[in-house]
């Protein structure tokens, strides 16, 4: 099975270095450039004659708009998956870091060095984020076959957690995920839970693309 994770196009919040999260705000809508990125992604899909078997989309507007612009020509149903929404940044959402430090100095100070979300009111906690990443992977493993090609349009934060779950890493790896970047993995579902030496067979699980944007080059 091929699993493809795609981040949404550029938003005003991305341009202004404002924190985005699980809320839909005016500044989290796609910019003209973000829409163009998504359209170029769709053009690239056509050029590559690429059509998935299944498409999942975050319920948030920026991801849904990206999915429509990039994949409407597939004429496939887009399945909204709540677990694909962006990780919640609580009271930090919509603010720049300078505004956060000014408005919430103690929380900003505690969070800055640790990245511990327990210091941030109304934010989604790490265990909940990791649980969502695991549920996304589990959905793929239990509802799809080795012949499926699954595309998921989502967000940088949940992509990080999902990749950590795919790699079975206890750590959360920082990834500077580009707008409309593609992460593509090949998984043999029938062998995923195999505890024999098959775990060390790199032909069973491959990283085909990682944070790539061939449509923009």
Query: Which residues are the active-site residues?
Result: 8, 86
In contact, 9 and 30? CB cutoff 8 Å: yes
- Say how far apart CA 171 and CA 41 lie, in whole Å: 31
Phi, psi of 149 (to 5 degrees): -125, 110
CB atoms within 10 A of CB 169: 10
CB-count burial class (<10 Å; 0-12, 13-18, 19+) for 182:
buried
Question: d(Cα 139, Cα 172) in Å, to the nearest integer?
Answer: 20
């Amino acid at each position: 099975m091929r699993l493809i994770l795609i981040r949404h196009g550029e938003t005003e919040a991305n341009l202004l270095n404002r924190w985005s999260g699980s809320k839909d705000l005016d500044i989290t809508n796609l910019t003209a450039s973000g829409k163009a990125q998504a359209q170029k992604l769709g053009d690239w899909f056509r050029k590559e004659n690429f059509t998935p078997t299944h498409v999942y989309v975050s319920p948030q507007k920026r991801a849904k708009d990206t999915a429509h612009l990039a994949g409407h020509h597939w004429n496939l149903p887009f399945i909204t998956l709540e677990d694909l929404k962006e990780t919640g940044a609580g009271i930090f959402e919509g603010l720049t870091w300078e505004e956060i430090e000014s408005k919430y100095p103690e929380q900003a100070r505690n969070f800055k060095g640790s990245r511990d979300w327990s210091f941030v009111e109304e934010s989604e906690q790490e265990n909940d984020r990791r649980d969502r990443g695991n549920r996304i992977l589990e959905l793929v493993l239990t509802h799809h076959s080795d012949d499926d090609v699954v595309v998921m349009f989502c967000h940088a934060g949940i992509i990080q957690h999902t990749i950590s779950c795919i790699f079975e890493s206890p750590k959360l790896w920082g990834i500077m995920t580009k707008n409309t970047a593609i992460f593509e993995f090949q998984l043999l579902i029938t062998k995923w839970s195999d505890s024999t030496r098959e775990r060390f067979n790199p032909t069973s699980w491959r990283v085909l693309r990682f944070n790539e944007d061939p449509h923009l080059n």
